[in-house]
């Protein structure tokens, strides 16, 4: 429950009607019988067998036995939150969807972020694509934007999706590895389905290691249509831009956080929403006139291609704010049924063959996973009325009154009635279709390497080095030398330098193919060009008894003022006393905390420091340093880390005479976030 926030909206009010609070109520069975003893089963004699007639035990156990529903075939591990979407200005020129027309509306939304490959219990910081799926509860019905944090996809046709997923999931003979792409079957699929080349580059970049769900972009991926009230259709791509910028972990850090806190991403989202640091994402549209359908050297129906933002700018049209955690993860996040086929008037599909496949798969999976009447569940119900002649099915909740359940009818005055397009009914955009029925790939879908090269050209030197490391790790884990070589040969089409460097790392031969001649780059693709803020970043502050009370407090207060989050760490939990009687409550001991989960570290130290404190603090500092993160130190702190040889390195700031100068230098360092120049320094 979120009593501390009152971010209510029409959807939240609707959900509240379904909530049940058991506090201070008598215990009962599901049939309403009050229970006098919930600890002992009914037995024949106090040491005798349990009786079949024990309806209370039977009900309790058999409900428990059915508590789980099948996990999602993909995107099984995810975490969600409620929020609202608001337009900056009417988009009625583009679309007649009410939520895109009326800037005064606050449309309720639910977002589910997810990891693709891992099962429901997987570690959240694995290298993986992240799902970014939004359900808009609009006045015209539910619109779902079921996207990812990467703007392109592996394949071009929905019929290949099961193959892709079978390849990426744990190998079936031993169910290894969990939630990872670093294995033979995945890379065998990539090398033998070369339309994945652009996506291969994206997943080997730091995009698949997001710092958290709050720092990643979202993309609808496909080309959709928007249709205005005059019936004019345009092609559109949807983008979510995180207000705090796009930031990622480094690989070593992501792996270690996975051990220290496998729930890192959900914890980050949940904690920030609870703290009122509501994550915000701006919605952007890339819009193309119908006449420009063939204006590019790629096909806009091909989901392995993006529209470079420098050619088709992203128009920012509104903002989504996530302002409320769920009350119950199963009822909301697990049972939400998202579906790219859920569109409303003003939005329509294109012939993108990947999208077309999805239109079938999602309804099918929801029926299998949740049940026939999944749309009746509180989290899935629209906020506008639902009336139709669909009836019955397993676990039907609605009680449809009356005897007429067909159309046309006269007994109910032909109601519920259809609504013409001019009055708000959904009318499919009458796009022209022609041609023979063919099971083929369009020739315009066959250039797989130009955009893979575009991505490589757009990366900063640091990003390029991370991509090389990622390939070297992933292919290094592939056992089959033939598969390694096939991937290296595929990479050769993108960049000879990349392919030869990785080949050298993994014991393969340099490729014998010609690299793409595409010299274009798209600065928007590089995370180096994102925005940088200190807000909501976490600083681990290591203190020991006898620390300088007044200056520490004044420094921490300055940081809190700019939105940094402070975690106090000490040798033991409890309260630590510094000079001038200053007392600080400890959040984490050096044992319950972890050297890898903070965005920055401030080593305050104190007058009492024992060898364990010193060794552990050095360990914290070394990890921070190796992950390029800011380190601040008081003079006590500097003495502790002296022999690490990092004092004076970029982003390692030692407190001087003036605490306020130190505080602001550290804020600047936190804003910068990573000191990549350390790679040359050390
Ligand atoms: Fe999918 C879930 C995103 C292609 C079939 N997909 C799912 C989710 C996201 C995506 C974010 C999780 C939704 C949630 O949180 O509940 N999928 C994508 C994107 C794709 C894509 C961005 C390409 C542009 N998916 C795709 C194809 C197919 C599927 C081509 C099948 C033809 N996806 C599914 C599914 C899932 C799913 C099996 C599993 C659980 C679910 O639908 O609800 O039906």
Instruction: Give the pLDDT confidence of 118-139 residue by residue, as tens digits.
Output: 999 999 999 999 999 999 999 9
Nearest-angstrom CA–CA distance, 361 and 219:
19
Q: Can you tell me which residue has the tokens 């744990």?
A: 170
User: Is the Cα torsion angle 635, 636, 639, 645 positive or negative in sign?
Assistant: negative
- Position 359 confidence tier, pLDDT thresholds 50, 70, 90: very high
Cα–Cα distances in angstroms (integers) from residue 650 to residues 212, 625, 673, in the given order: 25, 10, 12
123 among known catalytic residues: no
Instruction: Kindly report the protein residue whose alpha carbon is nearest to atom 23 of ligand 1.
Output: 153
CA gap 494, 454 in Å, rounded: 9
> Mean pLDDT score of the chain, rounded to an integer?
97
Instruction: Look at residues 345, 111, 325, 290 and name the one whose alpha carbon lies nearest to residue 218.
Output: 111
Residues framing ligand 1 (Cβ under 6 A):
72-75, 78, 112, 114, 131, 133, 146-148, 153, 158, 161, 221-222, 303, 336, 338, 354, 357-358, 361-362, 365
How much is the average pLDDT of 373-383? 98
Q: Quick one: pLDDT at residue 608?
A: 83
Q: What are the tens digits of pLDDT across the range 171-225?
A: 999 999 999 999 999 999 999 999 999 999 999 999 999 999 999 999 999 999 9
Residue 275: predicted pLDDT: 97
Residue 9: which pLDDT band, with cuts at 50, 70 and 90?
very high
Cα 320 to Cα 8, 138, 185, 220, 525, distances in angstroms? 15, 14, 38, 15, 22
pLDDT digits (tens, 9 = 90+) for 528-566: 999 999 999 999 999 999 999 999 999 999 999 999 999
Token pair recorded at residue 198: 């652009």
Q: How confident is the model at residue 679 (pLDDT cuts 50, 70, 90)?
A: confident
Atom of ligand 1 nearest to the CA of 365: 44
Sort residue 295 into left (φ over 0), alpha (ψ -120 to 50) or beta: alpha
Average pLDDT over every residue of 266-293: 98
Q: Which of 117, 216, 362, 364 to mutate to test the pocket of ligand 1 (most atoms within 8 A of CB)?
A: 362
> Best mutation site among 74, 158, 217 for ligand 1, i.e. most ligand atoms within 8 A of its Cβ?
74
> Can you list the domains of the chain with their CATH numbers?
24-66 (4.10.91.20), 78-376 (2.40.180.10), 447-528 (1.20.1370.20), 533-680 (3.40.50.880)
pLDDT at 337 over 70: yes
**Cα angle vertex 327, ends 396, 67, to 5°?**
50
Is residue 63 flagged as an active site residue?
Answer: no
The complex's ipTM? 0.99
pTM of the model: 0.97
């Amino acid at each position: 429950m979120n009593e501390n926030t009152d971010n209510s909206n029409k959807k939240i009010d609707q959900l509240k009607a379904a909530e049940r609070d058991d506090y201070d109520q008598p215990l009962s069975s599901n049939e309403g019988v009050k229970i006098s003893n919930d600890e002992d089963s009914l037995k024949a004699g106090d040491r005798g067998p349990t009786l079949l007639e024990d309806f209370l035990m039977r009900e309790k156990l058999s409900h428990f036995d059915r508590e789980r529903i099948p996990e999602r075939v993909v995107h099984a591990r995810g975490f969600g939150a409620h929020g609202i979407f608001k337009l900056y200005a009417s988009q009625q020129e583009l679309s007649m969807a009410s939520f895109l027309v009326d800037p005064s509306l606050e449309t309720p939304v639910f977002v589910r972020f997810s990891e693709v490959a891992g099962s429901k219990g997987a570690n959240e910081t694995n290298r993986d694509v992240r799902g970014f799926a939004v359900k808009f509860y609009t006045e015209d019905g539910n619109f779902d934007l079921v996207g990812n944090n990467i703007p392109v996809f592996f394949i071009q046709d929905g019929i290949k999706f099961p193959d892709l997923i079978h390849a990426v999931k744990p190998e079936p003979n031993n169910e290894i590895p969990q939630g990872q792409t670093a294995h033979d079957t995945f890379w065998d699929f990539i090398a033998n389905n070369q339309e994945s080349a652009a996506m291969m580059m994206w997943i080997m970049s730091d995009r698949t290691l997001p710092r958290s769900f709050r720092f990643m972009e979202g993309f609808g991926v496909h080309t959709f249509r928007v249709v205005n009230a005059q019936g004019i259709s345009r092609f559109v791509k949807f983008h979510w831009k995180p207000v705090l910028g796009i930031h990622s972990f480094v690989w070593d850090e992501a792996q270690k956080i996975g051990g220290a806190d496998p729930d890192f991403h959900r914890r980050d989202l949940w904690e920030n929403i609870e703290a009122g640091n509501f994550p915000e994402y701006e919605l952007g549209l890339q819009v193309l006139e119908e006449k420009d359908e063939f204006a590019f050297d790629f096909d806009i129906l091909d989901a392995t291609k993006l529209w470079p933002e420098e050619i088709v700018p992203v128009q920012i049209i509104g903002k989504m704010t996530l302002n409320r955690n769920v009350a119950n993860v199963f009822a909301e996040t697990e049972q939400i049924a998202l579906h790219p086929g859920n569109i409303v008037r003003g939005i329509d599909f294109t012939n993108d063959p990947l999208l077309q496949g999805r239109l079938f798969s999602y309804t099918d999976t929801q029926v299998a996973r949740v049940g026939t009447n999944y749309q009746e569940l509180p989290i899935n119900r629209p906020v506008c009325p639902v009336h139709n002649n669909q009836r019955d099915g397993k676990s039907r909740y609605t009680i449809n009154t009356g005897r007429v359940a067909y159309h046309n009818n006269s007994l109910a005055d032909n109601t519920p009635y259809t609504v013409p397009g001019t009055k708000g009914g959904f009318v499919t955009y009458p796009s022209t279709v022609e041609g023979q029925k063919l099971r083929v790939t369009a020739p315009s879908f066959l250039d797989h390497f130009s955009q893979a090269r575009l991505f490589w050209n757009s990366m900063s030197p640091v990003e390029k080095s991370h991509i090389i490391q990622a390939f070297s790790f992933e292919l290094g884990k592939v056992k089959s030398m033939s598969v390694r070589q096939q991937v290296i040969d595929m990479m050769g089409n993108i960049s000879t330098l990349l392919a030869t460097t990785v080949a050298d790392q993994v014991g393969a031969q340099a490729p014998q193919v010609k690299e793409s001649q595409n010299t274009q780059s798209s600065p928007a693709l590089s995370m180096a060009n994102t925005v940088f803020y200190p807000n909501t970043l976490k600083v681990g502050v290591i203190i020991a008894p006898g620390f300088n009370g007044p200056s520490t407090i004044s420094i921490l207060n300055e940081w809190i003022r700019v939105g940094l989050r402070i975690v106090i760490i000490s040798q033991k939990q409890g309260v630590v006393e510094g000079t001038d009687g200053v007392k600080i409550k400890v959040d984490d001991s050096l044992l319950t905390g972890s050297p890898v989960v903070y965005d920055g570290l401030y080593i305050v130290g104190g007058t009492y420091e024992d060898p364990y404190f010193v060794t552990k603090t050095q360990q914290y500092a070394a990890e921070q340093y190796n992950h390029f993160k800011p380190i601040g130190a008081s003079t006590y702190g500097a003495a502790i880390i002296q022999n690490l040889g990092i004092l004076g390195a970029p982003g390692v700031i030692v407190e001087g005479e003036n605490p306020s100068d130190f505080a602001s230098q550290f804020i600047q360092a936190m804003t910068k976030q990573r000191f990549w120049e350390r790679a040359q320094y050390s």
